[in-house]
Amino acid sequence: MNEYRGFEDPLLPDTMPTLETADGIVPAFDVILPPIQTIPFVFCSPHSGRDYPLGFLQSSRLSGEAIRRSEDLFVDQLFDFVPDFGAPMLRARFPRAFLDLNREPYELDPRMFEGDLPLQVNSASVRVASGLGTIPRIVAEREEIYRRKLTVAEAMHRIDTFYLPFHHILERLIEQTLERFGICVLVDCHSMPSSVRALPGGVRPDVVLGDRYGESASRRLVAAAAARLAALGYEVARNKPYAGGFITEHYGQPHTGVHALQIELNRALYADERRMLPHHGLTSLRDRLADFVAYFAAEVGGDFGLPAAAE
């Protein structure tokens, strides 16, 4: 597979955004492409970034451990096989606490900023009210992130420099997949805490599939995905408590051939949540996810009459 972090690939902006971290300058996100795309899938991991910008850490009142509570732990590693299956993968390197790519571009809380926000800002959303807008006010355990108010210029810089280029690339991956195959299945990859709401009967789900209650993807395809995950031994829920965020809602347009499915994985399956470290279950889950992707790709190909591999 090819990992593109430079300027040669036409998907990328003229200047790749970078982050200044304790480990040096790193790309803000990675686009990992197969040599040839052979399945009509695009995978996205917007919340698994672990590269914390130095300026962000300096502005935070939280310790290094506390500020990590919003990470989708190791989700990028769980799906790192997908280029070998013939699908591209887009993953953010920066953390969700710094900038949430699964929100509208301008879901901002005026209370967080000095000065007046631009007119296009949506400050009335439920997500802003809960502290989880495009630039979050809190981490997962409802602890305030910042020691001071941010400037409006800081907010616009994050959105212009990181958010918009990320979504530009995601749009191009979807467009190219749709042009090549006549269909695109976007899989938005996330994790959820093990304390997730229990299913009827008291069992907590291992996987939650979100399709915006049937709006963002073919119900038949989602049913096939759920059935395969159940056959692999997982407790599967649909849309409750996670129906999909901005990415699923915005890009999922089944009438145009683009189907978007959010997948949430219970962190207890593969990680020690308290210590934020992977455990022995990560390899097993990754192997089963590979089985799932192979099966799901075959189901999509069968339903839509696609060739086994596009030349």
Domain-embedded: residue 246: yes
**Distance (Å) of CA 152 to CA 59, 137, 265:** 15, 14, 35
- For 130, the domain range is 2-304
Long-range CB pairs of 242-246 (<8 Å, 24+ gap) are 242/190, 242/192, 242/208, 242/210, 243/210, 243/211, 243/212, 243/213, 244/188, 244/210, 244/211, 244/212, 244/216, 245/102, 245/103, 245/188, 246/102, 246/103, 246/104
Domain-embedded: residue 62: yes
Residue spans of beta strands (DSSP E) within 5-162: 18-21, 24-27, 29-33, 41-45, 89-92, 113-114, 150-151
Task: Give pLDDT, residue 63.
Answer: 87
State how far the Cα of 108 lies from the Cα of 154, in Å rounded to an integer.
12
Residue ranges for the chain with pLDDT beneath 50: 2-8, 308-311
Q: Do 207 and 266 form a contact (C-beta atoms < 8 A)? A: yes
Task: Give pLDDT, residue 199.
Answer: 84
Location of structure tokens 């040669």 = 8
Q: What is the pLDDT of residues 22-34, one digit of tens each?
A: 999 999 999 999 9
Task: Give pLDDT, residue 167.
Answer: 97
pTM: 0.93
Task: Give pLDDT, residue 308.
Answer: 46
Domain-embedded: residue 311: no
Task: Give pLDDT, residue 6.
Answer: 32
Amino acid identity, position 203: V
State how far the Cα of 61 lies from the Cα of 86, in Å rounded to an integer.
43
Task: Give pLDDT, residue 5.
Answer: 37
Task: Give pLDDT, residue 202.
Answer: 87
Please name which of 200, 204, 304 lies closest in space to residue 257, comparing C-alpha atoms: 304
Task: Give pLDDT, residue 13.
Answer: 58
Please name which of 304, 292, 305 lies closest in space to residue 87, comparing C-alpha atoms: 292
Domain-embedded: residue 222: yes
Q: What is the CATH number of the domain that holds 296?
A: 3.40.630.40
Task: Give pLDDT, residue 140.
Answer: 81
What is the DSSP code (8-state) at residue 268?
Answer: G
Amino acid identity, position 266: N
Q: What is the pLDDT of residues 225-278, one digit of tens each?
A: 999 999 999 999 999 999 999 999 999 999 999 999 999 999 999 999 999 999
Strands 29-33 and 184-192: unpaired
Q: How many domains does the chain have?
A: 1
The total of other beta-carbon atoms located within 10 Å of residue 287's CB is 12
Task: Give pLDDT, residue 310.
Answer: 39
Strands 207-210 and 258-266: antiparallel
State how far the Cα of 109 lies from the Cα of 132, in Å rounded to an integer.
9
Q: What are phi and psi of 31, to 5 degrees?
A: -115, 115
**Distance (Å) of CA 239 to CA 67, 103, 200, 208:** 27, 18, 14, 7
Domain-embedded: residue 309: no
Domain-embedded: residue 310: no
